[in-house]
Amino acid sequence: MDIDVDQFRAKKGEALDLNKHPTKIDALYKSKKNYRKLLTRNTKELADLQERFYADDSYALLIVFQAMDAAGKDSSIRHVMSGINPQGCQVFSFKHPSATDLDHDFLWRTVACLPERGRIGIFNRSYYEEVLIVRVHPNILAGENLPDDITNQKDIWEHRYESIVEHEKHLRRNGTKVIKFFLHISREEQAKRFIDRIDKPKKQWKFSEGDIHEREYWDDYMQAYSEAISATSTEHAPWYVIPADDKKNVHLLVSTVVLETLRSFNLEFPELPAEELAGLKVFRDQLIAESPGLKLDEASVDDGDDEPTSPDEVNGN
């Protein structure tokens, strides 16, 4: 099935009202078995493209996940990146800033976690928290020790949007592509998932009283997200508003966007110069001469073909 993900991309400069965006769409799969087949197909191709991406070592990819609690950020990362080589992928979760973080600008703590060339970096929450939770809870801004002439400005959020856009432009100019996902869950579905956490002992550790407290600010969060996404979705760092009431749809949509992004680099494995290839032949002949009993397959032995590349294979199914 071909999935048109462009319909979920927030258009640059276009006003966004999340209250008018769906949190649930028709299933992109025909059955649970079909879902597994589609996701496996995507994860296998992701694994292949990520290997080329890593070998090329020219670009980096930063994937940002933002959402209300229980929208499925962890689940998406786990399922979509299940076939990726851990050496080529880094995941960072950003919680409450430390005292050291607060003594720097709001982008500082995430800059140190940016992916290296050839690697995929994933931010589970990010610098966008500084125009989301900080906006919804002004007392947090008051605790950031900023000068009064900054915190008292009426356009402080617009200034932070500008800083973010310029930051992401800088990354793109230096080879890092940024794609951002807002997993758009409904208030009702969030309640359902919270209840599921409360009812199941193995999930109770995920629940906290603060989750209920934040639900009181739902409308404020939707407004903050709407404005932030509108102000910072650009050609070089787009936002995708993903309907998140169905996690299977989320996994298919997110994996498709990541796939299309990696395909856009048009990467192939690096080709060695003729002299280096000649040197490899010498080494190969030397290894064979040293091992007279060595038996080689008809095709050269490749590493990684036996590695799990799908959620089913990872789980041993």
Mean pLDDT in runs of 10 for the chain (317 residues)? 89 91 96 96 95 94 97 95 87 91 94 96 97 94 87 89 98 97 98 95 89 94 97 97 98 97 90 85 88 75 45 39
Q: Residue 241: which of 10, 3, 6 has the closest Cα?
A: 10
pLDDT of residue 298: 64
Region of 175 (left: φ > 0; alpha: ψ -120 to 50; beta: rest) is: left
Tokens of 91: 């995941």
- Can you give the pLDDT at residue 184? 98
Alpha carbon 287 to chain centroid, angstroms: 43
The token duo for 255 is 């994996």
- Identify whether the C-beta of residue 182 lies closer than 8 Å to the C-beta of residue 225: yes
Which element (helix H / strand E) includes 103?
A: none
Structure confidence at residue 153 (pLDDT): 78
How far is residue 36 CA from its own chain's centroid?
A: 20
The secondary structure of residue 179, as a DSSP letter, is E
CA–CA separation, 37 and 16 (whole Å): 34
Beta bridge partners of 64: 123, 180
For tokens 């407004």, name the residue: 223
- The Cα-based distances of 278 to 56, 70, 275, 281, 284 in angstroms read 21, 55, 5, 5, 10
What distance lies between CA 265 and its chain's CA centroid? 17
**Residues present in the chain in total:** 317
Instruction: Supply φ then ψ for residue 91, to 5 degrees.
Output: -120, 130
Q: Which CATH superfamily is domain 6-270+309-314 in?
A: P-loop containing nucleotide triphosphate hydrolases (3.40.50.300)
Give the per-residue pLDDT at 304: 46
Q: Which pLDDT value is given to residue 196?
A: 94
Residues of the chain by 3-state class (helix, strand, coil), percent to 5: 50, 10, 40
pTM listed for this prediction: 0.88
> 103: phi > 0 → left, psi -120 to 50 → alpha, else beta; which?
alpha
- Residue 38 near residue 210 (C-beta atoms within 8 A): no
**Cβ(221)–Cβ(67) below 8 Å:** no
pLDDT at 127: 97
Predicted local confidence at residue 34, as pLDDT: 96
pLDDT score for 82? 86
In the chain, at which residue ranges do the beta strands (DSSP E only) sit?
A: 60-67, 89-93, 120-124, 176-184, 239-243
Question: Residue 124: CB partners within 8 Å, gap ≥ 6?
Answer: 65, 73, 74, 77, 91, 92, 93, 94
Determine the Cα–Cα distance for residues 142 and 127; give it in Å rounded to an integer.
17
- Cα radius of gyration rounded to whole Å, the chain: 23
Please tell me the distance from the alpha carbon of residue 61 to that of residue 316, in angstroms, as a whole number: 29
Which residues touch 91 (CB under 8 Å, ≥6 apart)? 77, 81, 121, 122, 124
CB 61 within 8 A of CB 121: yes
